[in-house]
Amino acid sequence: MAATQSDVTILGGGLAGLALALQCRQKLPKAQITVLDKMAHPVPEATHKVGESTVEVGAYYFADVLGLKQHIVEEQLPKLGLRFFFPYGDNSRIEKRLEIGGTRYAPAASYQLDRGRFENFLGERCREQGIDFLDRADIKKLQINKWNRRHEVTYARDEMTQTVASRWVVDASGRRALLKQHLGLQKPTDQKCNAAWFRIDSRLKVDDWSDDPDWQSGHEGKTSRWYSTNHLMGQGYWVWLIPLASGSTSIGIVAEQQFHPLTEINTLEKSLAWLEKNEPQLASQLRKQNAEVQDFLVYKNYSRECQQVFSGQRWGITGEAGFFLDPFYSPGSDFIAFANTFLTDLIWRDLTWRGHRIRAFSYDRIFKKFFHGTAAVYRDQYQLFGNPQVMPVKVMWDYLIYWSLSGFIFMQERLCNHAMYMRNVSKLNRLSDLNHQMQDYFRLWHQKIPSQEISGLVNISNLPIIRNKNEALITELNWYEFDRQFSANLAQMETLYAEIVKQVGLTPASPVPMAKSSSVMKDAFRGVFDVIFPQKKAEQVDPPVPLTAGLKLS
């Protein structure tokens, strides 16, 4: 049987593959696009996949870039940001635990996605757009050819074996990583973390865990803590609580191997026993609710790397088939957005004769630069997770570096703008180096200064720096304004670094940047330091300085 012809064949019809198909269709209305997925569609709601929680880049990609906001607003849940609870005593009273979170929705929206419901919608949208989406297609053979020869993908469907010959092949097959395996692109990672998670068939609301009126204040209705991605923190671990629009709740344990071995959580019974020991209030609520457990899954050493993801030979890799970092800050959809946007531009350039080979080389380097820069946020940092002094500052820093660098570039729609990288290369490198230095300093702080139990609230909705930087993501800027703001981002992060070091009082291994203003940090993070260093309140006698003094665009 002769092979059918396609311009683009995508291996995998999950979140990454279906989103890429829709993005390619936007850019190339007449292209022949084929998606092959092993699973039968439609899939069940609350289907058992990671990636339910989105942050700014992923949310913007799905809602605005792909134009899916109506479905997301009407059929999914809004997200009241990330929320963190740090250890206190035996963790049996949540109102005693130090909390980081907001009481208002951020200007740049984020969402909780029921993966089954969302992927069913994406599949329907693909077929409406004339994309050849074939479910129950089991890929049997790949033949990746060079230069202008078409690649061939052989698959079994309906008891028949068929072949599609395609100009481009993109692997979105998730952890099967078909193309990575076929081309020998595996790369080891040094992060040894594991995850076990399950879903229950009812809503588990953290808001019901305490009847303290002060603790409940500000979290009524749509601002209930339940709408957040809630993190229960401890040394070497965190536990997620994610609500789904279908009515289910996703619960996951994520732990570094050296602190909590996989053998402690690799069955449902062991995971529940682990929760009894480490998060007894959650375990008690699960018993009280007596909900049905819908599924259970374990990932050992979930982090993934890859030698190459984009090739001038007209192939690419997206989603977990290539790289996967860590679920802590919910970056999975962000990296789908990065990879799919790079791939769509490469495919468009090739099919419209604009040249793609040099771009494939540079996009591959940029993508990996983003990955390794973000990886510094997680690598060897699980030791800090139960520290209620270091982690609030780290969380704020991690937000700001994300909104100053990769998030800022993507949401200002400069990801594929070569001129932007050339103009700002020194700033990009400096921000990356600064982040690595700061992550080293957080480890030093944790190791040198003993932590203490702390109660209280860091309400990020009351921190102007957080809201202003988040809002800047969605403020339209021309190229001149963008470059000026990028310079301001760097100056601000250098100032914050210097002021964190000044507040903590430890000498870092690397030189501290010269601060622009010694008062900026105190004003920006005053609410954080008042909570974690209450004894220093009396020392803060400087008058408040506007957050962006000396840094804001004129």
Are both 374 and 431 inside the same structural domain? no
Q: Which one-letter DSSP state was computed for residue 505?
A: -
Contacts 24+ apart (CB under 8 A), 436-440: 436/373, 436/376, 437/497, 437/508, 437/509, 437/510, 438/397, 438/401, 438/497, 438/500, 439/376, 439/377, 439/379, 439/381, 440/508, 440/509, 440/510
Both 268 and 284 in one domain: the answer is: yes
Q: Does 10 share its domain with 155?
A: yes
Say if CB 317 and CB 179 are below 8 A apart.
yes
267 within a domain of the structure (yes/no)? yes
* Cα(41)–Cα(125) distance, integer angstroms: 13
**Could you list the pLDDT tens digit for every one of the 554 residues in the chain?**
678 999 999 999 999 999 999 999 999 999 999 999 999 999 887 666 666 899 999 999 999 999 999 999 999 999 999 999 999 999 999 999 999 999 999 999 999 999 999 999 999 999 999 999 999 999 999 999 998 899 999 999 999 999 999 999 999 999 999 999 999 999 998 889 999 999 999 999 999 999 999 999 999 999 999 999 999 999 999 999 999 999 999 999 999 999 999 999 999 999 999 999 999 999 999 999 999 999 999 999 999 999 999 999 999 999 999 999 999 999 999 999 999 999 999 999 999 999 999 999 999 999 999 999 999 999 999 999 999 999 999 999 999 999 999 999 999 999 999 999 999 999 999 999 999 999 999 999 999 999 889 999 999 999 999 999 999 999 999 999 999 999 999 999 999 998 899 889 999 988 777 655 455 555 677 778 888 887 665 344 343 333 333 333 32
Neighbouring CB atoms inside 10 A of 269's CB total: 9
Which among 152, 185, 184 has a CA at the least distance from the CA of 168?
152
CA 531 – CA 525 distance, rounded (Å): 10
Same domain, 295 and 359: no
Picking from 328, 359, 380, the residue at the C-terminal end of a domain is 380
Query: Do 90 and 197 fall into the same domain?
Result: yes
In a domain, residue 467? The reply is no
Q: How confident is the model at residue 540, as a pLDDT?
A: 44
- 329 burial via Cβ count (<10 Å: 0-12, 13-18, 19+): buried
* The domain boundary residue, chosen from 282, 300, 318: 300
pLDDT at 346: 98
The residue type of 225 is: R
C-beta neighbour count of 478 within 10 angstroms: 8
413 vs 340: CA distance, rounded Å: 13
Q: Is residue 154 assigned to a domain? A: yes
Are 397 and 324 members of one domain? Answer: no
Does residue 413 form part of some domain? yes
Note whether 331 and 368 are same-domain residues.
yes
Structural domain containing residue 314: 1-72+113-186+310-380
* 19 vs 61: CA distance, rounded Å: 9
Q: Do residues 201 and 329 share a domain?
A: no
Write the DSSP assignment of 323-382 as a string of letters.
-B--STT--HHHHHHHHHHHHHHHHHHHHTTS--HHHHHHHHHHHHHHHHHHHTTTTT-G
φ/ψ of residue 222, rounded to 5:
-70, -10
Residue corresponding to tokens 């994300």: 402
Say if residue 6 is in the same domain as residue 21.
Answer: yes
Environment class of residue 452 by beta-carbon count within 10 Å: exposed (0-12), middle (13-18) or buried (19+)? Answer: exposed
> Is 246 a domain residue?
yes
State the residue for tokens 């800027």.
Answer: 477
- CATH number of the domain that 329 lies in? 3.50.50.60
Domain check: are 28 and 172 in the same one? yes
Q: Please, what sign has the CA dihedral across residues 444, 384, 498, 449?
A: negative
Among 272, 300, 328, the domain boundary falls at 300
Q: Is the same domain home to 340 and 411?
A: no
Instruction: Supply 490's token pair.
Output: 């760097």
Q: Which of 75, 62, 72, 80 is nearest to 26 (CA)?
A: 62
Q: Tokens for 232, please give them.
A: 């229960």
Q: How many domains does the chain have?
A: 3
Report the helix count and the strand count for the chain, using DSSP H and E. 17, 20
Report if residue 152 sits inside a domain.
yes
Residue 514 lies in a domain: yes
SS3 labels along 21-63: HHHHHHHCCCCCEEEECCCCCCCCCCCCCCCCECCHHHHHHHH
Question: Residue 243: which CATH number?
Answer: 3.30.9.100
Q: DSSP for 86-121, please give it.
A: ---TTS--GGGS-EEE-SS--SS--EE--HHHHHHH
Q: Are residues 28 and 167 in the same domain?
A: yes
Q: Examine residue 470 and state whether it is found in any structural domain, yes or no.
A: no
